[in-house]
Amino acid sequence: MIEIHQLTKRFARATAVQQATFSAPAGQAVALWGANGAGKTTIIRCILGLLSYEGSIRVGGFDAARQGKQARRLIGYVPQELGFHDDQPVAEAVRFFARLKGVSIGNVDEELARVGLAGCGGKRIRTLSGGMKQRLALSLALQGDPLALVLDEVTASLDAHGREDFIGVLSHLARDGRRAVLFASHRLEEIRALATRVIVLDRGRLVADLPAAEFLRQRAETSSLHIFLSESVRGRAVLELRSRGFLAGVNGRGIYVAVAPGRRAEPLAILSAARLHVEDFEMLDGFDSAEFVKEQP
């Protein structure tokens, strides 16, 4: 359904995405995985026609650059940041967006019920919780029954309860087999619940395309090394480790580094060779890239 070949996007001298090739066929839920700056949102914006790019993107056979209108008609999109009129009733918002899209929606209550908002049509949007607003955004994305659903870090602003509920709704949609689902994420619970395949991105490069089960197995075997350094050198330490192939990020009083078995001492040796003083360190079991995205160097 979504086919991407040799996608490259540059911003002045910076390359945000470099020669990425992958697909999201109907019946699969494909995750774009990576820390902030990995290229996830840039890829999504290229698919939506919001950015020019090199390479090719096809949605349902339509060229996203040359046949953008036809390609976008096949896509339902849920952004990370929502923009609603807070005083508008929910049912009115559903009808308004349907008119904008030129689609017929039938019964509004039925549209809302399939995303868990049954009985909410008369409520003002401002009264909805964050999770309920995300469900409303999902309902709008599903108008016209699109063949591809694209989601950009849609649980990032939700609390744990809201995130769990929303993932439950998405899981049902991802398993119905009728559409392609492409979603950006850095949370392992979303991969477990939703993904068929995982596209791993690192600074704009596609470094792996794995079945979700294999991706999760590898993450279970990977540990996190929490290294404490002075604030003045943390950014340099992260860049030094990334240049040697480690996933690393600034976090709190130090930095986190993802380390595989047999390489757990290597980051410390790299920092020592770079004359970066390590104050202390601890080894943590497991790995979740949410640890790596709280701050950037």
- What's the rounded mean pLDDT across residues 145-161? 83
pLDDT at position 286: 61
pLDDT at position 288: 58
Q: What is the pLDDT of residues 36-88, one digit of tens each?
A: 788 999 999 999 999 999 999 999 999 999 999 999 999 999 987 778 888 99
Q: Is the pLDDT of residue 292 over 60?
A: no
More confident residue, 191 or 178: 191
Q: Is the pLDDT of residue 176 over 90?
A: no
Q: What is the pLDDT of residues 222-245, one digit of tens each?
A: 778 889 999 999 999 999 998 888
Confidence of residue 294 (pLDDT cuts 50, 70, 90): very low
Q: Is the pLDDT of residue 275 over 90?
A: yes
Q: Is the pLDDT of residue 297 over 70?
A: no
Q: What CATH number does the domain located at 222-292 have?
A: 3.30.70.120
The string of DSSP letters for 91-115 reads HHHHHHHHHHHT-----HHHHHHTT
Domains of the chain by residue range:
2-219, 222-292
pLDDT at position 31: 95
* Superfamily for the 2-219 domain: P-loop containing nucleotide triphosphate hydrolases (3.40.50.300)
pLDDT at position 49: 93
Q: Is the pLDDT of residue 177 over 80?
A: no
The runs of H, that is alpha helices, within 144-287 are 160-174, 188-194, 212-221, 231-243, 266-273
- Under DSSP, the state recorded for 89 is B
- Identify the burial level of 36 via C-beta atoms within 10 angstroms of its C-beta, where 0-12 means exposed, 13-18 middle and 19 or more buried: middle
Q: What is the mean pLDDT of the chain?
A: 87
pLDDT at position 130: 83
Residues 52, 53, 59, 65, CA torsion sign: positive
Q: Is the pLDDT of residue 173 over 50?
A: yes
Report how far apart the first and last C-alpha atoms of the chain are (Å, whole number). Answer: 37
